[in-house]
Amino acid sequence: MNETIYPDRARIDALEKVLGRTRFAADIPLPRITHAMTVPSRIVRGRLAAIDIGAARAVDGVLAVLTWRDFTNAQSAGYLMGGGFGFQSHQPMLSDRLVHRGEPIALVVAETLEIAIEAAALVDARYEEEPFAALLEDERAEILAPQAGHAMGDAQAMLASAAFRVDAEYLSPAQYQNPMEMIATVAEWRDGTLTIHEGTQNSSAVKFGVAAALGLDSARVRVKSAYLGGGFGQKNSLQGQTVLAARAAILLGRPVKLVMPRAQLYHTASFRPASRHRIQLGADADGRIVAASYEADMQNSRADTFRASFSEITARLYSIPNYSSTARLVRTDVQSPGYMRAPFEHPAAFAFESAVDELAYATGRDPLAFRLNNDAETDPVTGDPFSSRFLAECLRTGADRFGWSERNPAPGSMRADDGTMIGWGVAVGAYKAAMAPAIARLRVRADGTTLLSVSGHEMGQGIRTAIFAALTEGLEIDPARIEIVIGDPDAAPQHLTAGSWGTASSVPVVRRAVETMQARFDALRDGRSVHGSIHQMLALWRRPYIEVETRLQAPGQPDAVFDRLQRGLPAAGGPEYKPFVSFSYIAHFVEVRVEPTTRRIRVLRVVSIVDCGRVVSPRTAESQVRGGVVWGIGAALRETAEIDPRFGGVLNNDLAEYVLPVNADIGAIEVGFIDQPDPMLNEAGVKGLGEVAMVGVAAAIGNAIFHATGRRLRQLPMRIEHLI
């Protein structure tokens, strides 16, 4: 078991970042680079009847204008969740068929960006339009038969006889990840090898996906994704644009840079689908939750099946013996929705933790005491033990730090001196503790340098810093001369870095590499006592280097899972590992202030206490939790895609109209960690952090708004107009 307590240290790539030296994909300097711009479809569904590229082609400096006719021998690389590599199965520009608004119908490549933009605007198209469904409630939307979810006990019977009941519907809108780095592809074709520079969370899927789409030998496709300017799930698979840029680079024999404009990204990449959540809860006279029913509807595209798993966490937040859940997928004419930070857990926790709060009030109990009274000791779904669970500690610690005991429970009872309404709310969250198979190659050299190639992508979560911590806490090597290569499938096979399994997958395999390296070194030492670093001893013994390779998968996964890793397919395991179940947990305490006249809602302070297992990189972990809380505030109070049902597109497709939290929206955020290693999940004791940080924030805010005003808001985002 891992007893290492990791010290506070600065983010290892912070220096490069504050100097502006970190090279993101669009920063890569390549000689004779060209610039590409896409032309978006102006209809939702139908056929591209005619396209005129003459005027665009005639602009001085335009090198090529590609249309679907230039892609006739290309094919879709398939859907990530259906055995393929793409965020959706529909690859634009393979034919004249159009299935969602904004998909590219042409790609202009020019000597400069200004010329590419000018020429793209000159491409003229004629469309044959077909009717479509834009919204969940549209009559053309196709509602699929419900997917079976959980079924424990007899929820309906117990609900009917419960002493206290809640039955409510909660709404969550379509939302967009909006990483600050717009998705950028730089493609270069040289000597029969294609190199793609793109900030992606899944460089292996890009490698194998581009190869499959363009009929190339995957050995001749290289992908470099050393840094992302944020991913949040939007960059978790092959993008349609990557195939377009790659083809253009091959045709032109010059590097092509395609930075997808922010406005187009709302239609060319994934998003969080709109969803509806009906929650029924029942409690007995002692304040025990006896039954729960969870029925959800979630938006999908026509072609792909993005499954809803809202209930995965809500079935486990409490010890509820009678529980049922179902989910219906609703097909609309849209690009395929996908993963956005806490994809199911954020809307699920908003709905369920709001309902639990309503139930606590219905029973006349304090929402904190009510939650503690219903804590689960073993997993209600499988009956198996939790590998570790400190949710009650999160609640107790958070309540202490927040000062919960000072709370007057009556809604509308707390006021500031100036009359501002004060609300204190609590909610909890959970997120599966998953692991993906990972491979580490570690080479320590006599010349004082160390090279570590390992599975994982740096999106800003701090995985490099965590890997660095794991490497240097265990080994006598020069910390100033370590090169960590991640996001490069040809250096080490790359897992999709998502689902909060990045650190839990990469750190344990690095620890294993460190142990193996130490064992090899000890064998070389052969009982001699040595003084100095590994480098010095290697130099003394005239060995240029020692190299080890280690691999690790999730508990119980067969070795065959490495085959999936090698082929760029999703391979993560969890949260159910026979015979135990693993989740990370969090408790959020929120103070909101509501101005009595304008009803403006502000989040003054948040206290969030996390159980994510062992914390490997304390400083970056704290930042990650604060970031998750900021995401929760944005999701609760600001973010929504405004869809025009007549035209089927996102109307607010820029950062002025799709409102993200800014500095003035954020108050104090205090973060605490339980920092207890998980004894079963992996040798490092690490669970996951990135997503759980956000789960429950929106509910805590809604619960605080109820406490401040007596008004229960069940629709996200919660806005001034809902309080008037």
Partner 1 sequence: MSEQDPSPRDRSNDLAISRRDALRISAAATGASLAGFGKTMAAAQPMPVALPGMSLTVHFQVNGNHIETLVDPRASLLDVLREQLALTGAKKGCDHGQCGACTVHVDGRRVASCLTLAAKVEGRQVLTIEGLSLEDGSLHPMQQAFIDHDALQCGYCTPGQIMAAVACVQEGHASSDAEIREYMSGNICRCGAYVGIVAAIRDAAVTMGGD
Contact residues for ligand FES (CB under 6 A)?
A: 180, 230, 460
CB within 8 Å of 659: residues ≥ 6 apart: 634, 638, 639
Nearer to ligand FES, 232 or 468 (CB): 232
| Contact (Cβ atoms closer than 8 angstroms) between residue 51 and residue 125 | yes
196, β-bridge pairs: 187, 223
Nearer to partner 1, 21 or 140 (CB): 21
Q: Does 20 bind partner 1 (CB under 8 A)?
A: yes
Binding mask 36-75 for partner 1 (x = CB under 8 A): ------------------------xx--------------
Query: Which residue stretch of 172-180, 330-338, 404-412, 479-487 sits at the interface with partner 1 (rule: CB under 8 A)?
Result: 172-180
Return the number of other C-beta atoms located less than 10 Å from residue 16's C-beta.
13
Residue 71: contacted member of ligand FES, partner 1, none (CB under 5 to 8 Å, by partner type): none
Residue 80: contacted member of ligand FES, partner 1, none (CB under 5 to 8 Å, by partner type): none
Q: Does 17 bind partner 1 (CB under 8 A)?
A: yes
- The gap from C-alpha 669 to its chain's centroid, in whole angstroms, comes to 21
Query: Of the candidates 466, 450, 470, 449, which has an alpha carbon nearest to the alpha carbon of residue 458?
Result: 466
Q: Which of 42, 47, 57, 111 binds partner 1 (CB under 8 A)?
A: 111
Nearer to ligand FES, 367 or 460 (CB): 460
Residue 208: contacted member of ligand FES, partner 1, none (CB under 5 to 8 Å, by partner type): none
Binding mask 238-277 for partner 1 (x = CB under 8 A): ---------------------x-xx---------------
Q: Does 661 bind partner 1 (CB under 8 A)?
A: yes
The CA-based dihedral angle spanning residues 627, 23, 6, 513, taken in that order and rounded to the nearest 10 degrees:
130
Nearer to ligand FES, 230 or 596 (CB): 230
Q: Does 605 bind partner 1 (CB under 8 A)?
A: no
Q: Which of 165, 278, 328, 619 binds partner 1 (CB under 8 A)?
A: 619
Q: Which of 14, 163, 250, 362 binds partner 1 (CB under 8 A)?
A: 14
- The gap from C-alpha 333 to its chain's centroid, in whole angstroms, comes to 24
Q: Does the CA dihedral 523-509-183-658 come out positive or negative?
A: negative
DSSP 328-364: EEEE-SSSPP---SSTTHHHHHHHHHHHHHHHHHHHT
Task: Scan for tokens 């099946």, then name that residue.
Answer: 305
Between β-strands 643-644 and 649-650, what pairing exists: parallel, antiparallel or unpaired?
antiparallel
- The gap from C-alpha 261 to its chain's centroid, in whole angstroms, comes to 21
Rounded CA separation 249/233 (Å) = 27
Residue 624: contacted member of partner 1, ligand FES, none (CB under 5 to 8 Å, by partner type): partner 1
Q: Does 151 bind partner 1 (CB under 8 A)?
A: no
Q: Which of 132, 189, 227, 323 binds partner 1 (CB under 8 A)?
A: 227
Nearest approach, Cβ of 23 to partner 1 (angstroms)?
Answer: 7
| Contact (Cβ atoms closer than 8 angstroms) between residue 535 and residue 478 | yes
By CB atoms closer than 10 A (0-12, 13-18, 19+), residue 165 is: middle
In 227-365, alpha helices (H): 240-252, 262-268, 311-314, 345-363
Q: Does 664 bind partner 1 (CB under 8 A)?
A: yes
Count of CA atoms in the C-beta half-sphere (13 A) of 58: 6
CB within 8 Å of 64: residues ≥ 6 apart: 107, 108, 109, 248, 251, 252
Nearest approach, Cβ of 551 to partner 1 (angstroms)?
Answer: 28
Nearer to partner 1, 342 or 368 (CB): 342
Q: Which of residues 459-478 bind partner 1 (CB under 8 A)?
A: 459-462
Query: Of the candidates 123, 150, 5, which has an alpha carbon nearest to the alpha carbon of residue 58?
Result: 123
Q: Does 669 bind partner 1 (CB under 8 A)?
A: yes
Nearest approach, Cβ of 19 to ligand FES (angstroms)?
Answer: 14
- For residue 116, the surrounding DSSP H or E stretch is helix 113-120
Q: Does 429 bind partner 1 (CB under 8 A)?
A: no
Nearest approach, Cβ of 17 to ligand FES (angstroms)?
Answer: 8
- The gap from C-alpha 448 to its chain's centroid, in whole angstroms, comes to 37
**Which tokens belong to 421?**
């309404």
Residue 29: contacted member of partner 1, ligand FES, none (CB under 5 to 8 Å, by partner type): partner 1
- What is the phi/psi pair of residue 714, to 5°? -115, 15
**Helix or strand or coil: residue 109?**
strand
Q: Which residue's beta carbon is nearest to the bound ligand FES?
A: 180
Nearer to ligand FES, 160 or 180 (CB): 180
Q: Does 712 bind partner 1 (CB under 8 A)?
A: no
Rounded CA separation 564/562 (Å) = 5
- What is the phi/psi pair of residue 168, to 5°? -150, 155
Q: Which of 36, 56, 93, 228 binds partner 1 (CB under 8 A)?
A: 228
**How many residues bind to partner 1 according to rule CB under 8 A?**
68
Strand order in the sheet with 414-415: 414-415, 421-432, 583-594, 601-611, 668-673
Nearest approach, Cβ of 16 to ligand FES (angstroms)?
Answer: 13
Q: Which of 385, 666, 683, 719 binds partner 1 (CB under 8 A)?
A: 666
Nearest approach, Cβ of 700 to ligand FES (angstroms)?
Answer: 24
Nearer to partner 1, 14 or 539 (CB): 14
Residue 649: contacted member of ligand FES, partner 1, none (CB under 5 to 8 Å, by partner type): none
Nearest approach, Cβ of 690 to ligand FES (angstroms)?
Answer: 13
**Chain residues that interact with partner 1, rule: CB under 8 A:** 10-11, 13-24, 26-27, 29, 31, 35, 60-61, 111-115, 118, 178-182, 227-230, 232, 259, 261-262, 458-462, 619-620, 622-624, 626-631, 654-656, 660-666, 668-669
